[in-house]
Structure 1
Amino acid sequence: MQLHFYPPLSSAPSTSPPSEPDLTSFHSFSFDPSAPDYTSLLSDELLLNILSKLPISQHVSNSLVCKRWLHLHGRLVYSLKVADWSFVTSGRVFTRFPNLTDLDLVLSCIQMPKSSGIIVTHKTMSVHVDTHFILDGFLEETALLPSNAVDQGLRMIAGKYPNLQRLAATGASEEGLLRIAEECPTLQELELHCCGDLALRGIAGIKNLQVVKLMGFIGVFYNSTISDIGLTLLAQGCRRLVKLELCGCEGSYDGIKAIGQCCQMLEELTLSEHRMDGGWLAGLSFCGNLKTLRLRSCKSIDKSPGADEHLGSCLTLEELHLQGCQIRDKQSVKALFLVCENVRDIVLHDCWGLEDDVFSLASICRFIFLFPCLHFIGE
């Protein structure tokens, strides 16, 4: 790229009135393919520092300048969602993006043709579907990568990304997660889809794990079982948990109790579309540091909460969020408010069955003042 300069105008005073500048006398930048690349005189470290100062929105266009800039751009990327599993197994992801700390493999573990014109979406997840999408509403087993293939990819990732901080995967087993635990000591956040109870033994060695999201049952995609066995293994192995989200997970009082007793640093618990047995609410009283409880898309709160005197109370709880939940059952709603009697904020968003007598049960919470101001979120 060459810039053409022209001699300055005469500095002699002029008596003529000022006029509009003649834009035709100025030449803009021109590109000469034969001109030398002066950026080659800069070291990778210096050029990388310059590129890192540019807005993120320009990173992709900058990577198209030349192969060198493409390589340097890859070193600036720290978060990536992989849609094609071969990008991992071929090793291209490690060459292209050597400094990843956040890697999402969820969609790449689902072997569906990307050319399909049919897309099924469930909340935040979308996949292309074809004949693998069978009538009973779940993906066939052949649509998911086998566990040994996923584990092989996780072994490669563990060897290349020792500084990994977040990982999301589908169908991983104990073997692959053990390798991640051994090679990625800085991992803090883990999201697992379609994994069973025994797979959770593999994450016991991840000493700094603070955020875990377990997706057992997801609408039309897959159905895996995470029960009290898995919750107990998780609780015993991950004692530094701060946030836990259980989506479509089974369990009962025993599993929630184990989490409360072992994960004493737990501050936020989210249950989405839970399939918990009756009586699980009483287990929340063992969560001695819990500050936020979220319930999302739950068809019932607790089918059989038991006697009020046996429920206990979560003394540190400050916020209760209910979104898209069925709250017509007065007994279960009352039990929920008894366990959460110390909350200061209750957020109700698109819940069904919110009638006067149900809403009045919130008066059980000693720090909630219902009147004279009521605030509703949603319709």
Structure 2
Amino acid sequence: MESLLCDELLQEIFQRLPPSSSSTVPLVCKRWLIVHRNSRSFLFLRVPSATPSSLRAFSSFLSRYPRLSSLSVVLVSPSDDSLDAVPGCEDNEEINSSLLADQLLLAVASNCPHLRHLQFFAGPVSPSTLLSLSSSCKHLSSLCLSSLRLLSFRWLTFFPSLKDLSVFDCSSVDSSDEDESEFELPLETLCLSGIRAGDCGLGWLWRSCTKLRRLQLRSCEGTGDGDGDPFSSFIRCLPGLQELELRTCRTIADGVLLRLAQHCSSLHCLRLYDGGSRDGLHRFISRSRSTLQKLDLRLPLDLEDDHLSAVAENFTGLISLRLQSCCLVTGEGLKTLGTAINAGLEELALVNCDVIERKPGLLTTLGQSLRGLRTLDLSFNSRLSDKELVSMLVSCKNLVDAKLRGCRGLTGAALLSMFKNCKLLETIDIKQCCGIKADSVEFFLLNSPRLRQFHVEESKLSGVAKTCISKKFIQIVG
């Protein structure tokens, strides 16, 4: 009994250790090694070869960690040494690659009954293997797959706890999956990539995702909704949607946004990257019945001032606005938007937006209008000057997070201004700011009592700065 209590106490201690310290625990003694394995809840594994011995080693290795709740598996080339490999996976007798992923996933199913989160990037898997996984891992709530051998989603009915699904290659679909039946899946988050224009077979999935809250479509040319109306089943997943991300989906972006405006009134976050049209985006902003709170756009040639005016008119409750590489937006458009939403905005990002350079004084005006800002991201504006930034910071007393990565025109004067005006700052990123030197970094670290995370190059940390970091428990991200 005393031994068991001691082991439980050790497990509690091991679970609280930082990664840098926990790696040496197994070296103390065999008992500590066993207890340490029992305390591990997460593993990230790479499998460097497809051989019978690698499969045996993989299964044996997993069996030593009986309490895993989160697992990531990646198949890599044997020459890739970027991560720790599974011991014993080194011989060269090849296995049929089409069977490897299934056999690896079966090994996971056999040895990890407590899994709740699984990322599996080891090749396409078959529906039958996923059924085996469902019978063994009954509490799986998050599943991320590189691809499916046959893109049929009927196996989802056997995962009653699955809330989050990602499939990163939807390049082949099963047209036989197309009938009018449906099933109420528990899925709340869905991410699909690579659906082609002529693909079909996803209609059942769309009709069954009535509880969907977050949808991500990446590099998709279609919805996989059949040969007729490409959105007839897709619209069934929209009524309760809260977050949508369209990334490089130019072919379908307008259609998705139009249906979103028609069938969804609960959206509070939209992320649109590299796709769509000016008219389609404007129609959505003008017609949407949702109370949008977060808007994130990367549209180099599709976003103009009239879009910002429509946002200012229809989305008055906006708390986060992120614009990246938006070349056609002018200072007047941003000023109009800033005046309309004023104190309500908490996050502003103008990443790689040359309007800052084209319109001197823009940041000063925005700072005066947006005094409630807590997060500011001006990354990769390489010509941003100290004068422009300092004039904005005078009004931004509530900043908690500042990102200035890649702003090569800034100097130590910018950090001095932050020290004077931003007393609540907890996180700052000044990587690739070559004008900011080590002495300015040292001064800022010594005089920022609330700082918790600092993104900066190791070469800019003096001995005094490193001592300060250690005493204040500041996390450095190099």
TM bracket (short chain): 0.5 to 0.7
Structure 1 306/152 Cα, relative in aligned 2: closer, same or farther at 3 Å?
same
Residue 78 of structure 2, aligned match among 110, 113, 125: 113
Structure 1 217/200 Cα, relative in aligned 2: closer, same or farther at 3 Å?
closer
Give CA-to-partner distance per residue, 1:80-122, whole Å, 9 cap, x none: 11101676653123322111111112x22x4x13258xx8xxx
Secondary structure of 2:24's counterpart equals helix
Q: Aligned equivalents of 1:365 and 1:187: distance in 2?
A: 47
Aligned residue number for residue 283 of structure 1: 259
Aligned residue number for residue 328 of structure 1: 301
Residue 104 of structure 1, aligned match among 61, 69, 72: 72
Residue pair 2:37, 2:64 contacting (<8 A) in 1 also: yes
Structure 1 309/274 Cα, relative in aligned 2: closer, same or farther at 3 Å?
closer
Residue pair 2:127, 2:150 contacting (<8 A) in 1 also: no
Structure 1 76/226 Cα, relative in aligned 2: closer, same or farther at 3 Å?
farther
Residue pair 1:76, 1:99 contacting (<8 A) in 2 also: yes
Give CA-to-partner distance per residue, 1:127-170, whole Å, 9 cap, x none: xxxxxxxxxxxxxxxx9984432123223322332332111123
1:271 equivalent to 2:246? Answer yes
Q: Aligned equivalents of 2:56 and 2:196: distance in 1?
A: 28
Aligned residue number for residue 234 of structure 1: 205
Q: Aligned equivalents of 2:151 and 2:312: distance in 1?
A: 31
Aligned residue number for residue 172 of structure 1: 125
C-alpha displacement of 1:344 = 0.9
C-alpha displacement of 1:319 = 1.1
Residue pair 1:288, 1:316 contacting (<8 A) in 2 also: yes
AA of the residue aligned to 1:95: S
Aligned residue number for residue 350 of structure 1: 324
- Percent of pairs identical after alignment? 23
Aligned residue number for residue 189 of structure 1: 142
AA of the residue aligned to 1:187: L
Residue 341 of structure 1, aligned match among 301, 314, 319: 314
1:301 equivalent to 2:276? Answer yes
Aligned residue number for residue 60 of structure 1: 23
Secondary structure of 1:181's counterpart equals helix
Aligned residue number for residue 46 of structure 2: 83
Residue pair 1:214, 1:246 contacting (<8 A) in 2 also: no
Structure 1 348/262 Cα, relative in aligned 2: closer, same or farther at 3 Å?
closer
The RMSD of aligned alpha carbons is 4.4
Residue 151 of structure 2, aligned match among 188, 198, 203: 198
The structure with the largest alpha-carbon Rg is 1
1:160 equivalent to 2:111? Answer yes
Q: Aligned equivalents of 1:231 and 1:359: distance in 2?
A: 40
Aligned residue number for residue 43 of structure 1: 3
Residue pair 2:258, 2:283 contacting (<8 A) in 1 also: no
TM-score, structure 1 normalization: 0.63
Q: Aligned equivalents of 1:327 and 1:146: distance in 2?
A: 41
Q: Aligned equivalents of 2:148 and 2:332: distance in 1?
A: 37
Structure 1 264/307 Cα, relative in aligned 2: closer, same or farther at 3 Å?
closer
Higher relative contact order (CA 8 A, sep 6+): 1
C-alpha displacement of 1:282 = 1.1
Q: How many residues end up aligned between the 2 structures?
A: 304
AA of the residue aligned to 2:79: K
Q: Aligned equivalents of 1:246 and 1:363: distance in 2?
A: 28
Q: Aligned equivalents of 1:367 and 1:197: distance in 2?
A: 48
Q: Aligned equivalents of 1:365 and 1:301: distance in 2?
A: 27
Residue 249 of structure 1, aligned match among 205, 214, 220: 220
Secondary structure of 1:53's counterpart equals helix
Structure 1 213/275 Cα, relative in aligned 2: closer, same or farther at 3 Å?
farther
Q: Aligned equivalents of 2:230 and 2:61: distance in 1?
A: 38
Secondary structure of 2:369's counterpart equals coil
Aligned residue number for residue 318 of structure 1: 293
Residue pair 1:216, 1:249 contacting (<8 A) in 2 also: no
Q: Aligned equivalents of 1:345 and 1:256: distance in 2?
A: 31
Residue pair 1:337, 1:364 contacting (<8 A) in 2 also: no
Higher helix share: 2
Structure 1 199/83 Cα, relative in aligned 2: closer, same or farther at 3 Å?
farther
Q: Aligned equivalents of 1:266 and 1:237: distance in 2?
A: 14
Structure 1 95/161 Cα, relative in aligned 2: closer, same or farther at 3 Å?
closer
Q: Aligned equivalents of 2:329 and 2:211: distance in 1?
A: 40
Structure 1 150/262 Cα, relative in aligned 2: closer, same or farther at 3 Å?
same
C-alpha displacement of 1:321 = 1.7
Residue pair 2:285, 2:307 contacting (<8 A) in 1 also: no
Q: Aligned equivalents of 2:44 and 2:111: distance in 1?
A: 17
Structure 1 160/255 Cα, relative in aligned 2: closer, same or farther at 3 Å?
farther
Give CA-to-partner distance per residue, 1:37-85, whole Å, 9 cap, x none: xxxx952452232242242333221111222221211111111111016
TM-score, structure 2 normalization: 0.52
Output aligned runs, 1:359-378, within 5 Å: 359=333, 363=337, 373=369, 377-378=378-379
Can you give the 5+ residue segments of structure 2 that lack an aligned partner in the other structure?
Answer: 84-93, 172-192, 346-365, 371-375, 382-478
Residue pair 2:247, 2:274 contacting (<8 A) in 1 also: no
